[in-house]
Chain A
Amino acid sequence: QITLKESGPTLVKPTQTLTLTCTFSGFSLSTSGVGVGWIRQPPGKALEWLALIYWDDEKRYSPSLKSRLAITKDTSKNQVVLTMTNTDPVDTATYYCAHTRADIVVVNAFSPWGQGTLVTVSS
């Protein structure tokens, strides 16, 4: 059974760097074809894809946020870390990590998802 869980601060101040960790079980990020992505959802709003990392360390970022994001993996710890710099109140959202599998396209569907973690950006 695949499970994922997000962790990180619940409150960050504007301009600070946000670091979120996804800890997973039931699969290995060293297995060919496996990936982990991050998606966020502002309160009451739609989903937004942020970033994705694959087993081979290939990384993909949302073009609109690419300059502010970094995604890394620690295969030995079964963790993926997302870093977002220069945060703003508009970054307030529930942040989800999710499992995916590689296909001929750059990004794929996500399943399953973690429970999400709410991050508020406010002074």
Chain B
Amino acid sequence: DIQMTQSPSTLSASVGDRVAITCRASQGIVNWLAWYQQKPGKAPKLLIYKASSLESGVPSRFSGSGYGTEFTLTISSLQPDDFATYYCQQYNSYSSFGQGTKLEIK
């Protein structure tokens, strides 16, 4: 099984900040990685697929990068709507998710 480890688990930031969330895979996954945003009581929403491809309709302040075992989700300028929990998902070998990163208001 491929284990996905996200860091940090919690991130405190302010509107307008640039933030980055990291996801590390226990073995290489090429670029088969997705990022999701989840708000309380709601289903996850796909933001990024294939590590760096922006899903249609997702604001351009979201970007993804990485290859192999280390990946990053960057939000260039935080907006009030961005405070949520973010998950990475690998789909190189079946699929597994990271434990989540809660982005909270500082």
Do the beta carbons of B44 and A47 come within 8 Å of each other? yes
**In the complex with contacts A108-B91, A110-B46, A48-B97 CB distance below 8 A:** yes
Contact A63–B1 (Cβ < 8 Å): yes
Chain B, 72-106, contact with A by CB distance < 8 Å: what is the 0/1 string?
00000000000000010101111111111000000
Residue B34 at the chain A interface, CB threshold 8 Å: yes
Say yes or no: A49 contacts B95, CB within 8 Å.
Answer: yes
Q: How far is the CA of A72 from the CA of B97 in the complex (A)?
A: 24
CB of B94 within 8 A of CB of A109, answer no
Contact A46 B99 (CB under 8 A): yes
Chain A residues whose C-beta falls within 8 Å of the C-beta of B89 in the assembled complex: 47, 49, 109-110
Q: How many residues of A contact B (CB 8 A)?
A: 22
Is chain A's binding surface mostly helix, strand, loop or mixed?
loop
Q: Which of B44, B92, B94, B99 contacts A113 (CB 8 A)?
A: B44
Q: How far is the CA of A64 from the CA of B96 in the complex (A)?
A: 11
B100 to chain A, nearest CB (A): 5
Task: Decide if A112 is an interface residue (CB 8 Å cutoff).
Answer: yes
Q: In the complex, which residues of chain A have a beta carbon less than 8 angstroms from the beta carbon of B98?
A: 46
Q: Decide if B49 touches A109 in the complex (CB within 8 Å).
A: yes
Within the complex, the shortest CB–CB distance from B70 to chain A, in Å, comes to 19
A62 and B94 contacting across the interface, CB-CB below 8 Å: yes
Contacts of A108 in B (CB 8 A): 49, 91
Residue in chain A with minimal CB distance to B33 = A109
Query: A60: CB under 8 A from chain B?
Result: yes
Indicate if the CB atoms of A49 and B96 lie closer than 8 Å. yes
Partner among A49, A112, A115 whose Cβ is within 8 Å of the Cβ of B46? A112
Chain A interfacial positions (CB closer than 8 Å to B) = 46-49, 60, 62-64, 96, 98, 105-116
What are 27 A-B contacts with C-beta separation under 8 Å? A46-B100, A47-B87, A49-B94, A49-B95, A60-B94, A62-B95, A63-B1, A96-B43, A96-B44, A105-B32, A105-B91, A105-B92, A106-B93, A108-B49, A109-B46, A109-B49, A109-B91, A110-B44, A110-B89, A111-B45, A111-B46, A111-B49, A111-B55, A112-B45, A113-B45, A115-B42, A115-B43
Q: Which residues of B contact A (CB under 8 A)?
A: 1, 32, 34, 36, 42-46, 49-50, 55, 87, 89, 91-100
